[in-house]
Amino acid sequence: MHLARAPLIACLLALQPLLGCLQAPRRPSGTIEYIGSSTVAGFLRDAEETYAAIEFRIDTAPESSGGERAILAGEADLAGLARRPAKGTLEQGVRATLIGRDAIAVLVGAENPITELSMVQLRGIFSGEVKSWNEVGGPDMAVVPFIVGPESATREVFRSLVLGSAVYSGCHQIRPDEAIAEAVSSTPGGIGQLSMSLIDSRSGARAIAVAGETPSVTSLDYPISRPLYLLWRRGNPTVEAFVQWTQTVEGQNIVMQRFVGRRVVGAAGSTPGDRRRGTLIVFTETEAVYDGGIYYYPHRPYEILTPEGLLVRRVPNRRGENDERPMSVDLPPGTYLIRTKTRDASDPEFFVTIEEDMRTKLDVVALLERAN
């Protein structure tokens, strides 16, 4: 018996160096200088306890715009953006890694009975057209809108998605971003914009639904959301190891304490019983994703816009990296412009009409093949 086991033991001893190589890679230790978005900084503070090999020195005063300038000037090891990086930034050797998506919540005070607003109503409020809450179904009380400072990506993303070509008017500017909640809760008729991740339940302000969707870490259909990026350069092993970790299951679990993770599985859309809706399914081109030794072919994302070109929502068209089914999206009846993403970067557009209680299918691949 002992003689029979001897060769096996010898083999295991010989394999020990190889098995050691297969263990999780060592995390380089050190300090990372971070400048940028206060929203992304919330994730870093959450990650610091779990990813114990490093310490962050965080400066959020310059927000996203300052972070982008800092990484270009070599003044930071890592920068955070709560929006897409500028094309010119990436052309200068800066790397951008998507870590998740953030919802920009609409906050009202506890005394305000309003629980939901449409995108049109929000546009009226923040453009100064709506002066009283009774114009949007609320009490006879003046509307007092608050917005964050111009250095914060929250301000421009919200303006782009909600106001379109309109501009802010009659709004009170607040710094830092976190102070929005206190300003709203302490001001009768107050309403404000703030990253969902920065809401403090103790502030007295609360988030309301927008277009029937409530912001949450599993809500893929909330219409006011933006991507979150880390900007970095090659050559710093500590930074590179950390950025790679953000894409792992452990890293994404930290992301999802505040944000919608890259691999979140959630409802594509819900239809309240008393709302008029139709369903849209878009079969976009697929792309290969390698996951756990298997290739998956999920559909590419697309955008839904109004006929005038105002963004309604961005659709990832997948519920996870390995989901090969296109998403079903509930929409009010009407005509929409669908802008797709293709491998050749032609990004074709199509008009579709959504009818109540009807399912509309748009097969982009078939239409492009027919056109060619």
140-149 average pLDDT score: 97
Share of the chain above pLDDT 70, in %: 86
What pLDDT, on a 0 to 100 scale, did the predictor assign at position 73? 97
Q: Of 44-48, 143-147, 365-369, where does the model show the most confidence?
A: 143-147
136-146 average pLDDT score: 96
What pLDDT, on a 0 to 100 scale, did the predictor assign at position 313? 83
What pLDDT, on a 0 to 100 scale, did the predictor assign at position 25? 54
Please report which confidence band the pLDDT of residue 371 belongs to, taking 50, 70 and 90 as the band edges. Answer: low
What pLDDT, on a 0 to 100 scale, did the predictor assign at position 240? 95
What pLDDT, on a 0 to 100 scale, did the predictor assign at position 359? 87
What pLDDT, on a 0 to 100 scale, did the predictor assign at position 128? 97
Tokens (6 digits) for 285: 């081109």
Average the pLDDT over each of 100-104, 226-230, 276-280, 335-339 and give the range with the smallest value. 276-280
Are 210 and 106 in contact by the 8 Å Cβ rule? The answer is yes
pLDDT higher than threshold 60 for residue 7: no
d(CA 206, CA 232): 35
Question: Which of 348, 322, 353, 355 shows the shortest CA–CA distance to 335?
Answer: 353
CA distance readout (Å), 256 to 101, 199, 216, 261, 263 = 9, 15, 10, 5, 10
pLDDT higher than threshold 50 for residue 269: no
Query: Going from the N-terminus, what domains does the chain have, and what CATH number goes with each?
Result: 30-98+227-261 (3.40.190.10), 103-210 (3.40.190.10), 278-371 (2.60.40)
Alpha-carbon torsion 217, 220, 224, 228, what sign? Answer: positive
44-58 average pLDDT score: 92
Q: What are the pLDDT digits (tens) for 311-334?
A: 888 888 887 666 788 988 888 888
- Residue with the larger pLDDT of the pair 232 and 365: 232
> How many C-beta neighbours within 10 Å does residue 240 have?
15
d(CA 90, CA 93): 6
What's the whole-number average pLDDT of the chain?
85
pLDDT higher than threshold 50 for residue 28: yes
The single-letter code of the amino acid at 309 is G
> Which residues lie closer than 8 Å to 218 by C-beta, 6 or more apart?
260, 264, 265, 266, 267
Q: What are the pLDDT digits (tens) for 161-183?
A: 999 889 999 999 999 999 999 99
Half-sphere exposure of 94 (CA within 13 A, CB side): 29
> Which residues lie closer than 8 Å to 333 by C-beta, 6 or more apart?
276, 277, 278, 354, 355, 356
What phi-psi label fits residue 126: left (phi over 0), alpha (psi between -120 and 50 degrees) or beta? Answer: alpha
- Residue with the larger pLDDT of the pair 292 and 47: 47
